[in-house]
Amino acid sequence: MPELPEVEVVRRGLDTWVRSRTIRDVEVLHSRAVRRHEAGSTDFSARIVGRTVAGASRRGKYLWLPLTEPGKADHVAGSAIVGHLGMSGQLLIEPEEAPDERHLRVRFRFDDAGPELRFVDQRTFGGLAVADLLDDGAGGLVPSPVAHIARDPLDPGFEDAVFVSRVRAKDSGIKRVLLDQTVASGVGNIYADEALWRARIHGERPSSRLTSPQVNELLAHVRDVMEAALAQGGTSFDALYVNVNGQSGYFDRSLAAYGQEGLPCPRCGTPIRRVAFMNRSSYFCPQCQRPPRGRAPQGRPAAER
């Protein structure tokens, strides 16, 4: 599943290509793609046509395109197209004459006859909806389905002290806490493993046993690894994650722990280990990231399951 850096790469592309453009028509080709819009596909289209996109925003792994209210002189956005890419969703900018993708689900055309926006989703786990924008209490507007999600570590409004407090108040393994979107959004399996490796912390270490300086150091590593991934267009392990131009990211070439089972740790040379974790995998160095004492291991090695 795309994580924060990948979604941010897509957001930046959308902001470049659809900002200030007015939607001429919307074609919903698969109803499942708008299942999160409870009023149905007809209402979904009706609430969008004729509206102008004010830009592209993101919180965690959610994207949204604020839509200006027609006839309002101040151009205040009152609603937005909200999207989640799921496992395989893609938002692509394509010329109108370009052939349809095999898994094209929704098409947006604009009144300037320029490139159209297409939502492509092979596995249909992602989806789009139109939602009202709400005051987030900090001077910003967020769609109603996103209001409960915590800010992400790259958000200018992210409060480090609040994050440290939330982490240290939990007794779960620190990796589970990093993946908790109510603590901080946007951190997924890949970047949790990479940040923990950089911080030399085992994912099963209870978060309550980490000191405030340790949590702050870990947060700095989360930010560093995400910024590094952003600079390389994100991480692409297959053709399902691409930016709006259909290009893959290449941060997978820089990964130190995630996906590196059996390869030497870049720091100490010990083979990286993979274990089962929450129906997926965790990767860590057993030398640099010692398991906590008295804590059950993260399950059997994935290769033995």
Active site residues: 2-3, 61, 280
Question: Left if phi > 0, otherwise alpha if psi is -120 to 50, otherwise beta: which for 150?
Answer: beta
The DSSP annotation for 48-105 comes to: TTT-EE---EEETTEEEEEEEPTT-TT--EEEEEEEE-TTTEEEEEE-TTSPPPTTEE
* Rounded-to-integer distance, Cα 147 and Cα 137, Å: 10
List the beta bridge partners of residue 127: 84
* Rounded-to-integer distance, Cα 274 and Cα 257, Å: 9
Residue 84 tokens, joined = 């989640």
User: What separation in angstroms does the CA of 175 have from each of 67, 105, 220?
Assistant: 37, 34, 15
